[in-house]
Amino acid sequence: MASNDTASCLGSAALKVTVSVVLTALILVTIAGNVVVCLAVGLNRRLRSLTNCFIVSLAITDLLLGLLVLPFSAFYQLSCRWSFGKVFCNIYTSLDVMLCTASILNLFMISLDRYCAVMDPLRYPMLVTPARVAISLVLIWVISITLSFLSIHLGWNSRSETSTVNHTVLHCKVQVNLAYGLVDGLVTFYLPLLVMCVTYYRIFKIARDQARRVHLVSSWKAATFREHKATVTLAAVMGAFIVCWFPYFTVFVYRGLRGDDSVNKTFEAVVLWLGYANSALNPILYAALNRDFRLAYQQLFCCRPASHYARETSVMSNSSRLSRTQSREARRQEEKSLKLQVWSGREGTAPRGATDRKPALSCTVCSSNLLSCCKSLWGLRFLQRHVRGPSEEQPRELLAKGPRRTPPEEAVRTLPSHAV
């Protein structure tokens, strides 16, 4: 009987190779994607926030699923028999139910968190506090453990009329009775699905209204792009969740109604691995679509090539050098104008390049404080050597005659080279 089941399960060698490659790739993507999410949050302080606590919890849950459950599920699927004993079968099925339940509940909490952030952003810090986030995470794992380890080890999911075939070493899957199927289906999937549909629909309406407001003050293309981006993101999140888990829980509830052997084995395996695939998509949907996570991924993997960094550095250095040259030229023109004004003793017009600077008329208007003002401009040493303007110690005759006017060309020639 075992050989017949094995032969009918495996099929051709090509099918076995194809299935093994697909399952191995799915396991590797699940593990690698969730490891990257954990590393990004651990190495980037900007991502360490209450909003990302549920994303980290989701990544850890999916990572544990990829490490502790998926390898044994793949081996069981390829060998078509369970080879690890009845005790480990109970542990394996309990881990499977617990981690899948925790993953779905984390998705549910993420939808509530985003709903609070969008609907009432001003009260969001008061609504989402560290204590409430911790309580939510504890509640997720309490529900998951109750529906998995506690229920399975106490036999709450068993059927009284279950045959001994399901207890042999050839088969290992979760048994489902009517009560367990309805309770687990409602708590784990159908109620969270209903709430997520409502929350994401409200978020979509707000995003669409904001896009229309942008349309009133900006271009039509920008508003259309915002609305299209919000639609695609929310459709991807909800579409992946429904496509991955709705077939499995429909089969799960149907098994509770009709019995564990009422569903085709191949179809049951397909919907099971379709639900597992959601753990591989979560790092993409809930992390890669986030701009902060994308920047953290770029820093983590150093995605920009060295030539890009060299080109960017060269452009920045050239622009900074050009700006310094322009500012130096503008400063020289302004200093020339100031020197001409001081030596001539009359007001002058500022150069064109210095229109955005402060006017230099304070030195010529306030003649009593001329020396201290110009000291702050050109330095004490230069003024001690070359300034011979009127002061309190000079005779009044010189003051009456007025300062000697020097042609601009001569004034410029008499200035030291370092002041130009």
- The CA-based diameter of the chain, rounded to the nearest angstrom, is 130
- Confidence (pLDDT) at 230: 67
Instruction: Convert the pLDDT of each residue in 398-414 to its tens digit.
Output: 444 444 544 444 444 44
Q: What CATH number is given for 2-176+265-304 in this structure?
A: 1.20.1070.10
Distance CA 253, CA 251 (A): 6
Query: Domain locations in the chain?
Result: 2-176+265-304, 323-419
pLDDT at 318: 52
Cα separation, 309 vs 301, in Å, equals 14
pLDDT of residue 327: 53
Whether 277 contacts 308, CB under 8 Å: no
**Structure tokens that stand for 32 in this block:** 């690698």
Give, in degrees to the nearest 5, the angle at Cα 370 between 364 and 375.
Answer: 115
Residues 398, 85: Cα–Cα separation, whole Å: 115
**30-75 pLDDT tens trace:** 999 999 999 999 888 888 888 899 999 999 999 999 999 999 999 9
Distance CA 353, CA 407 (A): 23
CA 104, 109, 114, 116 torsion-angle sign:
positive
CA 225 to chain CA centroid, Å, is 20
Residue-wise pLDDT for 242-282, tens only, equals 999 999 999 999 999 998 888 998 899 999 999 999 999 99
- Tell how far CA 283 is from the center of its chain: 11
**Is 284 in contact with 239 (CB distance < 8 Å)?**
no
pTM for this prediction: 0.69
Nearest-angstrom CA–CA distance, 341 and 337: 6
Q: Which residue ranges in the chain fall short of pLDDT 70?
A: 1-10, 161-169, 214-228, 230, 303-420
Three-state SS at 188: helix
Between CA 37 and CA 47, with CA 43 as vertex, the angle to 5 degrees is 65
pLDDT at 207: 79
The tokens describing 52, both together, are 């990302």
In angstroms, the CA 192 to CA 139 distance is: 14
Quickly list DSSP for 241-310.
HHHHHHHHHHHHHHHHHH-TTSS-HHHHHHHHHHHHHHHHHHHIIIIITSHHHHHHHHHHHT-S-HHHHH
Length of the chain: 420
CA dihedral sign, ordered 118, 124, 130, 135: negative
